[in-house]
Structure 1
Amino acid sequence: MFVSLRTAFMVIAALTGSSVAPAQVTPATEPLISEGPVPASMKVIPLPAAEAPDPLSPLGEEVVQPEDTIDPQATLAEAVASMRSSDPGSRELECLAVGIYYEAKSESLKGQLAVGHVIANRAESGRFPSSYCGVLFQRSQFSFIRGRSLPSVPRASQDWQDAVAIAKIVDQELQPSPMGKALFFHARRVSPGWRLTRVGTLGNHVFYR
């Protein structure tokens, strides 16, 4: 299973970090890293060039790249196409993918990427819980969350598999957020009156920091 540094860092932070009171961001209140000669018996005889191990592999074995490795120059659409899967691979990535799916499955891939980065930005900010699941389950933040269980998703659908791919791209920081370090967003159809710095509008969402 491939686990990125970002996921590993957040899991460690969630287990060992001190408790930080989460920001309550709702429309009703406020918005949402021994000298001497060497004996002959101990002298090292170099291997012939043909038998020397590959310097890139300590054991001279073939180096296997992670399954999700993609060309860093790939477009977002190319990256999503190569990373689609019905299985996120970890609980944290599942939370991130569920957030993307329920908040932005009808948006463009770029819009989904922006929403995914908002969840990741929150987890890294120090102002919110330090994991994707913690961010998702913070009280009154995401309307699709009920209690402490993730809602079910149609795993065979392309919308879900796209969300999983976007979650991996966000987690591995393969594509930057089109909305920078935004921490909040809302649908364009509502006007919560937040006193925040507006970052921009993308698709059906308005983003703030």
Structure 2
Amino acid sequence: MTISFFGLSAQSTAGLAAEVEQMLPQPAVLVSEPTPATISEPTGFDGDELAEGDSVAYPTLAAAVAAQSTHDGDDDAIQCLAGAIFYESKGEPLSGQLAVADVIINRSKSGRFPSDICEVVTQRGQFGFVRGGRIPTINEDSRSYRTAVAVAKVALADAWDSDADRALYFNRGRAPASGLTKVASIGNHIFWR
């Protein structure tokens, strides 16, 4: 068979038709291995119950976060810290969420801010999401909040080293007052000491 199109001609043969058929896009098959949602036995865990003060080594920050329980009844410090993580850094990488948590914890230990986590979070003029000295209501069933609770637990347990070690301030890319030292840039935040 000969085909002519705008002065061009081509001849089709059975072999050519078979080659064209093989060149047509074929559906892709995605083969994936299931990955566990949580880590059942973190590295360094021998199966015995952990005593208070014991530490568990996790292979990644994501594993440390996934290993945290998110049950109800968390204490005020966890809820306040999780609220701050949720409002200040939801959508940021886990390392950025942990760094925000560490800023608040560092402030509570610095002697320059209140020593109570909730008082650090609700201190006047420090966090824009705080209204009238209160953290706004959060849908506790949201995935972002459950992640924030888990990150808060990792931070309070000092279960993972933050990239923003010893930072006391953070902001979204604006230069802070002079005299501060940049510690890290994570996601959309810059961390200062």
- TM-score after normalising by structure 1: 0.64
The equivalent of 1:98 in structure 2 is: 83
Count of aligned pairs between the two proteins: 144
Q: Are 2:106 and 1:129 aligned?
A: no
| CA shift in 2, pair 1:134/1:117, >3 Å | same
Q: 1:200 to 1:64 in 2, by over 3 A?
A: closer
Q: What is the 5 A alignment of 1:107-118?
A: 107-118=92-103
Question: Per-residue CA shift, 1:88-114, capped at 9, x if unaligned?
Answer: 610111101101110001100011011
- List gaps (5 residues or longer) in structure 1: 1-62
Q: Determine the structure 1 residue equivalent to 2:189.
A: 205
> Runs of at least 4 residues of structure 1 off by over 4 A?
none
Q: What is the TM-score with the length of structure 2 in the denominator? A: 0.69
CA RMSD of aligned residues (A): 2.1
Tell me the equivalent position of 1:50.
Answer: none
Q: Tell me how far 1:199 sits from its aligned partner.
A: 1.3
% identity of equivalent residues: 41
Helix, strand or coil at the partner of 2:136: coil
Tell me which structure has the larger Cα radius of gyration.
2
Aligned equivalents of 1:93, 1:80: Cα separation in 2: 14
Whether contact under 8 Å (1:87, 1:164) holds in the other structure is no
What are structure 2's unaligned runs of at least 5 residues?
Answer: 1-47
1:45-56 mapped onto 2 (5 Å cutoff): none
Give the strand-richer structure, 1 or 2.
2
In 2, the alpha carbon distance for the partners of 1:88 and 1:203 equals 31
Q: 1:75 to 1:88 in 2, by over 3 A?
A: farther
Asked whether 1:194 is paired with 2:177, we answer: yes
Q: Which has the higher contact order (CA 8 A, sep 6+)?
A: 1
